[in-house]
Amino acid sequence: MSSRPEPTATKSRPAANAPQAARRERKGADRGLSQPGAMGKAFSILEIIASGHQPISMADIVRASGLTKPTAHRITSMLADMGFIERDVLKRGFIEGPRLIKLSLDTLSAAAPRTLRHAILRSISESVGETCNFGILVGSEVLYLDRVEAKWPLGLRLEAGSRVPAHCTAIGKLLLSLLPARERAQTIAAMPLARYTTRTLTDPQRLTHALDRIAATRIGIDDKEFIEGVVCVAVPVTADNGQIVGCIAISAPEARVPLDQAIKFVPRMRDAAARLGSTFQTGQARG
């Protein structure tokens, strides 16, 4: 009989302390919410870099994020390893990496599914009978976001996500030509102008003159400069606010489509580029 009060007393203590324990638990949860974890810190850094009008230095990241320098270093290294950010070609700071750019473009185009953009590329590819690419400039390279291969037994097989050099490809040269003069000059000076064919422009001055001509026409030209015997023509894709979000290009073996004939595809390509651009809802342009 004397043993009964003991269990009763033991049971009553948690009940009496329950509100206090709950309050402590809520306070702990509130502290957790007010102090972002690694994911929140990573998103904070991505927002800082994505909202910048120029490469963001580590000092600026530390100052804007409020993170300690070691923490900022650790998270930027992780994001760079994952391809979400990267150092700009002049090593001045961090810029958007290919994965972040692709994620942004995919998000911007949520109202127009990826299948619609792919269908537009496929329509122009089938119209001209050649391979069609959609790509963007990332540093000194072109990143293909989408690609439709021509239905020929032989051809250059590249997948979406592939990278090619900018200085000798139609998309790359067009996007380089449209950069502000100072930025273009700095980018060319820092680029590795490797030779891929006998026609590759490896002299900065000659490349600059070629880009001036391209800027005037807004038609990118690759005259067997990247791959022997392959020509390519590109036009810009402009979003609803006038921002250039990439380029589409047609590539073909010169034996099948000489360059002067490929240039005749431009009106159809521009029509496709206009339809493609209308699928991007970008809001206000940066800078």
- Residue-wise pLDDT tens digits, 27-81: 433 333 334 677 888 888 988 888 877 888 999 999 998 899 999 999 999 999 9
Measured CA to CA, the distance from residue 92 to residue 89 in angstroms comes to: 8
Measured CA to CA, the distance from residue 175 to residue 142 in angstroms comes to: 9
What is the phi/psi pair of residue 284, to 5°?
Answer: -90, 140
Q: What is the pLDDT of residue 170?
A: 97
- Contact at 8 Å (CB) between 245 and 117? no
Q: What is the pLDDT of residue 28?
A: 39
**Angle at 211 (CA atoms; ends 206, 215), nearest 5 degrees:** 155
Q: What is the pLDDT of residue 250?
A: 96
Q: What is the pLDDT of residue 4?
A: 43
Tokens of 11: 């049971």
- Report, as ranges of residue numbers, the positions in the chain whose pLDDT lies below 50: 1-35, 111, 283-287
What 3-state DSSP class applies to 153?
coil
Measured CA to CA, the distance from residue 70 to residue 121 in angstroms comes to: 45
Q: What is the 3-state secondary structure (H, E, C) of 177-226?
A: HCCCHHHHHHHHHHCCCCCCCCCCCCCHHHHHHHHHHHHHHCCEEEECCC
Going by C-alpha positions, the residue among 92, 161, 82, 104 that lies closest to residue 286 is 104
Whole-model pTM over 0.85: no
Enumerate domains of the chain plus CATH numbers. 15-96 (1.10.10.10), 112-277 (3.30.450.40)
Q: What is the pLDDT of residue 156?
A: 58
Tokens of 197: 């064919």
Tokens of 190: 């820092």
Q: What is the pLDDT of residue 233?
A: 98
- Contact at 8 Å (CB) between 243 and 164? no
